[in-house]
Structure 1
């Protein structure tokens, strides 16, 4: 008994931490009041006293100061791909009392709700807390089941249904990964969940034909097939009823949903009028796939995707009528000459279609629980043993001490190819990119076809060497077509989008397609490989950039330009959608969820590391100015060496109104401990003849707030400058400005230098004009109106030939070495 209790406590902890990781990541995606925090502070004794007792030296600091708290979450792995790995415990400090204590997932959710209230005053705190508790409790039950009854879920080779039922931890980008609100008992949860390999017969209804709408792109009534199948397994009483009503339609149903429907007044009225009969449960057992509501039988030609009034993560999973028509439309389209051409041109992707659907109405009103989508089953019989896995399961973290499955896949591929793990991981990923990027860009360009290519809808088939061989796309309800191709699509299939509303504007599709393809899918694979130490994240992200870059000139839709050049993308706010109690399934088609800005990770391909993330504390720039007989050096800021010095500088009278960074040193230390590990800016100390004299802060508009105020390019960089001496004979202002410009333009990633001095600062405008800047326009920033100025390398060198000579002399040894 004691061992079982200890196991239960351990599984509860694992479940909470797994959900907590997902919640923290969702928060980081959807809010901006956080930053990385490095080291142990010198001037913040309460925080230092706590941190010295812990092992982590890098945290994410959540700034809830407007509600009286700050939270520190230890970082195990920080990811540009979007999903960080956290250590525990997470701590919160009461700002008023300085009391520091560990907090659990529920307390963090309370703080998140309180903080978001200013922007989202209708946040449903109690509802979300209940759903969060449900997710934590469900995962604990699944882990307990796995521990007692399960077998490893991380084999390199797994068949379709084994992979579908291996997603114990849920999607790691969702704050409620195992939410199943609606199942009323453990018996229901276990019977109908894929994690517990639930197995059940289907329920059946017999319904008057006038109350049925059905379509099937395969050319026959699917209900006729269900009648035949039911006749083979039903009892004598049911067969007699079938004979009594030969024109009535047989409709299968998920048994949980059947119970739900029988309690609905419309269904009860239909029963009373003999328009509907409930027949009971018959036939072969079906088992749920990863979506819970889609069921599978290895011998059946079909998978059935039922409506299920259970709140699974964000939504009650109810098929909408327009979604059913989308599946039918796509199935019809792919049978046309245009559809066949698309499949032939891009055989890397196999479309698993949903050709048939059923709806039931009473007195002109649709009963949504009966909305059923019927899907082809390509994993029938011998085909069931293919090594095919949904992408979400392949990217899942390790379970209860097991290695993640992707690690085993790369290890097996490494053995088969006789290559190192690192080499194999990169090549494996390259092959994955080739399979999905060119086809998806091509399908959108040539045919206007776009789809929700996310981790649950995409399956990967692995070859004998465990490399990606083929991709499958399922869930045809996730198809959209660009209005730019409407004429060709309607010519191929005139009825397309008549009921489904699936032809939509190009500008609507591009952000959504980017979210599903990049954030959810490709970067999910990047994250799984990098977080498990199989490959360097920057290397993989650069590969993604280059894979899309090759299509930049041929793409006519704007998709590739948006993906590789836009400062930020749109990410679905799963946390906010829950906080606001939005049910995606029933929300309006044009606004089913809340979306937020997500910094474009591909921008890092042109990231000037020396400016923003220098890997040394040594001098990075040195130039002798013979006329003034001074040598100017620039080195990265060292918080242990320089903090007190710059604190004095910022508190000088001439610096206060410009920098607004005067005040207690504790606040300045916080500024630097959050500035230095992040990607927007960095700090450097400039020395004149060995004496520290100025500080510069290069910044990258792709991450810095100024980039949101104009059309920033990835290659734009800027800098702020503070010259400490007030004695003009010690300032060397212009030479310092030249050193700053030299240093920025030394970086090959820089295209132009930008400035954004306040419009009232005439002295600064004169200063930057002398350096070669030209006014672009006036911009409104959150805290000032500014002159946006540009300076290109050629402009600067043309104005200062000696700077060009310096740069070329410095570059010459490297060119010789490379030659």
Structure 2
């Protein structure tokens, strides 16, 4: 690769990752569509099975970028070139750095009235340039962590990853460990050196990187033991130490294949949870408990100051992969209800097998008024190709006596819009349920809901179930109350007015005490059960 191309791709990657961190109008897009031929032809030209899709529909544009590596830490890697599609004319063309930056700035300025709209004029001298953010990390000269001492810009993947691999492998050789155990021990010691609020002492050269610019080091030390901790201290630590320091390091280790990023993120959470509990440190408590925090935006360079609210990545430890990222297409739940002579099975949604079926379901008359997903096949396929690879929700099909009967989505409430309307916890999970049959002899609403609740509460990371069904659907609310949900009130969201309801294990078990053991004694799934026609 020529140097100019390498540097351009490096800057483009940094720009895309900056946008992903500050905005939410993007998602992963899985596979090649069946009902969108122009897009299918274009995606087939890339070697990637997954892309990032950016929704700029307000400007009649959508963007697809081939995804080479998805990073839990937010430092994704891409395979260029990318492309944009005009939604009205269906024209597809190569995406340039300047074009993406223009759309990103347009989105930012449209959302923030305080930013001068003249900055959109690319010929205007006031237009600030995007600069690759300085995300640095240091390798401390220490007998505990290795003898290498250096500072690198983590956006340069080749340099940064090589350095990290060298340090960890040297540490592994010195300690006589394999790479996996050495990575965990090296990173744990790195966190111990970093401490809770004293990043300066870890960095080799202070002039290159000065964190916590709005407060002094002594103020930060005092703040950790104060009775009340200003939010600015948490925001500063999360931005300067977590976002600009630890997460890039996590990403380099992940990209090198030394350890899964989510394992290292869990180690960060565990470390600061221990600091919070042992030292009663308020800053550490804020680090692990805050749902969101504010960071200084980077899209407009250093000349324009604005802030964005971003989710706490450390809460990834509460994300239940069994629910949100199933690893195989077979049944995840199976139960026989002897009294009713009914068997219920749940399996992940299969877009190749289930798309046309749920399209027919959603276009039935009883679905249109409540479910409101009576879309054309092309639009429905797009919905599932962006939902299924995501980390915050997943779709499932339920079968009763071997016949597909219901569809539901599981979602992580803290990353859903509903989490803005109550005191959401990172262990809150919700569902959206659609039962296809209208014949009362085939619906089995109680058994269906019991099965879903059984399965969800069998997962250790699920603490509370959340419901937010539309107020028009009283039948759905009554069904939930029947299995233990309790109404909390009515909330008004942008897209609907809803009944907010909760359910804890104890409330569910009060209704169905016989199901208390399900979380501990799961019934074996018969190997000869066929859940669908092959």
1:800 and 2:512 are equivalent in the alignment: yes
Question: Does the 8 Å contact 2:456/2:462 carry over to 1?
Answer: yes
Q: 1:82 and 2:82 equivalent?
A: no
Q: Distance in 2 between matches of 1:394 and 1:411?
A: 19
Partner residue in 1 for 2:240: 516
Question: Secondary structure, in 3 states, of the residue corresponding to 2:498?
Answer: strand
Q: CA deviation at 1:108?
A: 1.0
1:635 counterpart residue number: 347
1:398 to 2:158 alignment: yes
Is structure 2 residue 423 aligned with structure 1 residue 711? Answer: yes
How far the C-alpha of 1:682 sits from its partner, in A, is: 0.6
Question: Counterpart of 2:134?
Answer: 171
Distance 1:132 1:55 in 2: 36
Displacement, 1:658? 1.6
Does the 8 Å contact 1:35/1:62 carry over to 2?
A: yes
Task: Quote how far apart the aligned CAs of 1:760 are.
Answer: 4.1
1:471-501 CA-partner distances (Å, limit 9, x unpaired): x986795533659959x99xxxxxxxxxxxx
Distance change >3 Å, CA 387–CA 807, structure 1 → 2: closer
Aligned residue among 416, 420, 434 for 2:178 = 420
Deviation at residue 656 of structure 1 after TM alignment: 1.3
Deviation at 1:35, TM superposition (A): 0.7
Report if aligned partners of 2:55, 2:61 keep a CA contact under 8 Å in 1.
Answer: yes
Look up the SS of the partner of 2:111 in the other structure.
Answer: coil
User: 2:500, 2:474 → 1: CA distance?
Assistant: 13
Equivalent position of 1:615 in the other structure: 327
Tell me how far 1:68 sits from its aligned partner: 0.7
- Is the CA contact (8 Å cut-off) linking 2:130 and 2:299 kept in structure 1? no
Distance in 2 between residues matched to 1:36 and 1:132, nearest whole Å = 30
* Equivalent in 192, 203, 208 of residue 459 of structure 1: 203
1:552 partnered with 2:312: no
Structure 2 CA distance for aligned equivalents of residues 458 and 396 of structure 1: 21
Matched-pair contact (CA < 8 Å) for 1:91–1:102: yes
Change (3 A) 1:60 1:769: same
Residues 1:49 and 1:396: Cα distance change in structure 2 (over 3 Å) = closer
Task: Report the 3-state secondary structure (helix = DSSP H, G, I; strand = E; otherwise coil) of the residue aligned with 1:423.
Answer: helix
2:321 counterpart of 1:561: no
Q: Find 1:752's aligned residue among 438, 458, 464.
A: 464
Q: Size of the alignment, in residue pairs?
A: 512
Aligned match for 2:391, one of 672, 679, 689: 679
Give per-residue Cα distances to partners, 1:387-440, cap 9 Å, x unaligned.
5323x44774215xx963222222322333332222222221111011123x53
Distance between the aligned counterparts of 1:56 and 1:100, measured in 2? 18
Q: 1:107 and 1:553, CA in 2 relative to 1: closer, same or farther beyond 3 A?
A: same
Where does the alignment leave 5 or more consecutive residues of structure 2 unmatched?
526-534
The 3 A distance-change label for structure 1 pair 574 and 637 is same
For residues 726 and 760 of structure 1, the distance between their equivalents in structure 2, rounded to whole angstroms, comes to 17
Aligned to 2:51: 59
Distance 1:131 1:398 in 2: 34
Question: Where do 1:656-735 residues align within 5 Å?
Answer: 656-735=368-447
Correspondences of 1:285-684 after superposition (within 5 Å):
387-390=148-151, 392-393=152-153, 396-399=156-159, 404-437=162-195, 439-440=196-197, 453=199, 459=203, 479-480=215-216, 506-554=230-278, 556=280, 558-576=282-300, 581-582=303-304, 593-684=305-396
1:603, 1:702 within 8 Å by CA — same for their partners in 2? no
Aligned counterparts of 1:779 and 1:759: Cα–Cα separation in 2: 9
Whether 1:93 aligns to 2:88 is: no
From 13, 18, 25, the equivalent of 2:17 is 25
Does the Cα contact within 8 Å between 2:130 and 2:301 map onto a contact in 1?
no
Shift of 1:567: 2.2
Distance, in Å, in 2 between the alignment partners of 1:805 and 1:710 is: 30
Separation in structure 2 between the aligned mates of residue 132 and residue 22 of structure 1, nearest angstrom: 19
Q: Is the 8 A contact 1:396 1:405 kept in 2?
A: no
Q: Distance in 1 between matches of 2:133 and 2:111?
A: 29
Distance 1:613 1:132, change over 3 A: farther
TM-score normalised over the length of structure 2: 0.88
Which runs of 5 or more structure 1 residues have no equivalent in the other structure? Answer: 1-6, 137-168, 174-289, 291-347, 351-385, 441-450, 462-471, 490-503, 583-592, 814-819
The corresponding residue for 2:31 is 39
Which residue of structure 2 lines up, in the alignment, with residue 788 of structure 1? 500
Deviation at 1:130, TM superposition (A): 7.5
- Preserved contact between residue 482 and residue 509 of structure 1 (Cα < 8 Å): no
Aligned to 2:530: none
Question: Tell me, what secondary structure is at the counterpart of 1:692?
Answer: strand
Give the conservation status (yes or no) of the 8 Å contact 2:81–2:95.
yes
Supply the distance in 1 between the matched residues of 2:238 and 2:521 (Cα, whole angstroms): 43
475 and 539 in structure 1: CA distance in 2 versus 1, 3 angstrom threshold = closer
Residues 798/24 of structure 1: CA separation in 2 closer, same or farther (3 Å cut): same
Who is 2:531 aligned against?
none
Matched with 2:532 is none
- Partner-residue secondary structure (3-state), 1:648: helix
Shift of 1:23: 0.4
